[in-house]
């Protein structure tokens, strides 16, 4: 650019306030500027070579191809917009824009999608906003249930994640909502509210993964976590009553089981004692009868060998037992006296009779 240095110098020497007047140092003007005309003339005489500018632009353009992939990332290089290659963590180079470009998605980051509610505010003051159009679902027994859950997922294929899916979070959200509605639709409301929550989570995760694999989304569903499952607020009081009745039923059943577990072992023990006693008595009676029978057979065998001797021995043994018994009254009469006298009839009571009569009085 050419400068009219003479006009610039005149304008510099012209005092502020216009209206003519003297130059520098005269009483008619305002302040004046120092004389920079020599410096401007030197700058005017200096010229940059044009090829220096071209080289500088070329160097900056070439250096713009350097990029760093962090440890949690993977580099995906595109050449003229199409996928070309992947690069591992570290310092790499790609041809500068517009030839090549690079994206570095975080493949180890666990991403989160909320369905049925939204978190508002920071961690210290978190609040939640319910989204009923997402959370209200129909169960298999035609009841409405409010389901709020979280999806956690990771990138398992960066190329598919970047080029096959538009708005991945929205895609995951739609797939999760569809899968959860299908799983809840196969279950009754009691199972959804109480016993089958873990099974519902697992089935939803598996069904989501199938859907996303069909889309070739490059997404791995890591976890499905139910946050809050409850009936709609219009009928929640009735469901609380039902839950209380169910808890009472469980408590009564547990008390009955405890009583049963206390009574049955005792009854089994008493039955075992009675059975053992009966078995022992049976064995005792059988062995006693067997012994007596054997003894009788042995006596019969000896009797058959010598009948008179055996008869006499049995008579003597019997008499010996009777005479040795102190509680038995005995009257001894000879055969001769018995044959000549009338039958003996005692007129005084015997000792056992007298003792019995005295005790009766």
Tell me: cis bond preceding 193? Omega within 30 of 0 counts: no
The total of other beta-carbon atoms located within 10 Å of residue 181's CB is: 15
Burial category of 65 from C-beta neighbours within 10 Å (exposed 0-12, middle 13-18, buried 19 and up): middle
For residues 251 and 273, give the distance between their C-alpha atoms in angstroms, rounded to a whole number. Answer: 34
Residue 327 lies in a domain: no
CB 300: neighbour CB atoms within 10 A? 11
138 forms beta bridges with 144
**Residue-wise DSSP of 243-291:** HHHHHHHHHHHHHHHHHHHHHHHHHHHHHHHHHHHHHHHHHHHHHHHHH
Burial of 226 (0-12, 13-18, 19+ CB in 10 A): middle
Statement to judge: residues 20 and 90 lie in one domain? no
Is residue 69 located within the same domain as residue 115?
Answer: no
pLDDT per residue rounded down to tens, the chain (361 residues):
444 555 555 655 555 444 444 444 444 444 555 555 555 555 555 565 777 888 888 888 888 888 899 998 999 999 998 899 999 999 988 888 889 899 999 999 999 999 999 888 776 677 888 888 999 999 988 888 999 999 999 999 999 999 998 888 899 999 999 999 999 999 998 888 888 899 999 999 999 999 999 999 999 999 999 998 888 877 777 777 877 887 888 899 999 999 999 999 999 999 999 999 999 999 999 999 999 898 888 878 877 887 888 788 888 888 888 888 877 777 777 777 667 666 666 666 655 555 555 555 4
Are 75 and 176 found together in one domain?
no
Half-sphere exposure of 196 (CA within 13 A, CB side): 14
Which two structure tokens, joined as six digits, stand for 23? Answer: 């130059």
CA distances from 106 to 74, 100, 185, 205, 263 (A): 7, 20, 35, 22, 64
Domain count, the chain: 3
**For residue 228, which phi and psi values (nearest 5 degrees)?**
-150, 130
CB 147 within 8 A of CB 160: no
Q: Give the closest residue to 38 by CA, choosing from 59, 67, 9, 4.
A: 9
In 3D, which of 81, 108, 93, 91 has the Cα closest to residue 162?
81
Domain presence at residue 334: no
On whether both 91 and 132 belong to a single domain, the answer is: no
Q: Identify any residues that bridge with 115 across adjacent strands, giving them in sequence order.
A: 149
Are residues 214 and 136 part of one domain? yes
Among residues 233, 254, 287, the one where a domain terminates is 233
Tell me which residue range forms the domain holding 21.
5-45
Q: Match 């505010």 to its residue by tokens.
A: 121
* Residue 24 near residue 13, CB atoms below 8 Å: yes
**Which residue is listed with tokens 């469901």?**
239
Q: Do 81 and 10 belong to one domain?
A: no
Given a contact cutoff of 8 angstroms between Cβ atoms, the answer to whether 53 and 47 are in contact is no
**Same domain, yes or no, for 88 and 119?**
no
Coil/strand/helix, residue 115:
strand
The span from the CA of 135 to the CA of 306, in Å, is: 110
The CATH number that applies at residue 124 is 3.30.479.30
22 in a structural domain: yes
CA distance 137 to 226: 14
| Structural tokens at position 67 | 């990029």
- What crossing angle do the helices spanning 37-45 and 5-13 adopt, rounded to 10°? 160
Question: Are 78 and 119 members of one domain?
Answer: no
Looking at the fold, whether 67 and 149 belong to one and the same domain comes out as no
Cα separation, 191 vs 177, in Å, equals 19
Q: Are residues 65 and 35 in the same domain?
A: no
Q: Are residues 138 and 216 in the same domain?
A: yes
């Amino acid at each position: 650019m050419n400068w009219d240095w003479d006009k610039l110098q005149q304008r510099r020497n012209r005092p502020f306030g216009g209206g003519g007047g003297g130059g520098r140092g005269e009483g008619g003007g305002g302040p004046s500027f120092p004389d920079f005309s020599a410096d401007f003339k030197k700058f005017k005489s200096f010229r940059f070579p044009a090829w220096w500018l071209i080289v500088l632009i070329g160097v900056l353009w070439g250096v713009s191809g350097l990029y760093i992939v962090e440890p949690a990332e993977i580099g995906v290089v595109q050449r003229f917009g199409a996928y070309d290659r992947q690069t591992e963590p570290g310092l790499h180079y790609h041809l500068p824009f517009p030839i090549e470009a690079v994206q570095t998605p975080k493949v180890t980051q666990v991403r989160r999608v909320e369905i049925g509610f939204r978190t508002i505010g920071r961690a210290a003051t978190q609040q939640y906003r319910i989204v009923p159009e997402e959370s209200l679902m129909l169960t298999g027994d035609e009841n409405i249930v409010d389901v709020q859950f979280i999806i956690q997922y990771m990138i398992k294929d960066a190329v598919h994640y970047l080029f096959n899916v538009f708005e991945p979070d929205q895609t995951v959200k739609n797939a999760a909502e569809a899968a959860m509605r299908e799983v809840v639709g196969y279950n009754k409301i009691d199972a959804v509210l109480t016993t089958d929550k873990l099974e519902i989570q697992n089935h939803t995760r598996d069904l989501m993964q199938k859907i996303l694999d069909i889309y070739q989304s490059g997404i791995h569903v890591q976890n499905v976590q139910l946050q809050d499952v409850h009936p709609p607020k219009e009928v929640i009081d009735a469901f609380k009553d039902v839950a209380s009745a169910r808890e009472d039923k469980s408590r009564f059943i547990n008390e009955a089981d405890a009583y049963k577990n206390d009574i049955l072992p005792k009854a089994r023990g008493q039955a075992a004692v009675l059975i053992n006693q009966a078995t022992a008595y049976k064995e005792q009676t059988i062995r006693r009868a067997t012994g007596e029978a054997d003894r009788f057979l042995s006596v019969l065998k000896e009797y058959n060998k010598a009948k008179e001797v055996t008869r006499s021995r049995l008579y003597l043994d019997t008499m010996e037992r009777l005479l040795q018994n102190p509680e038995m009254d005995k009257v001894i009469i000879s055969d001769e006296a018995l044959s000549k006298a009338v039958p003996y009839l005692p007129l005084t009571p015997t000792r056992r009779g007298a003792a019995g009569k005295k005790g009766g009085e």
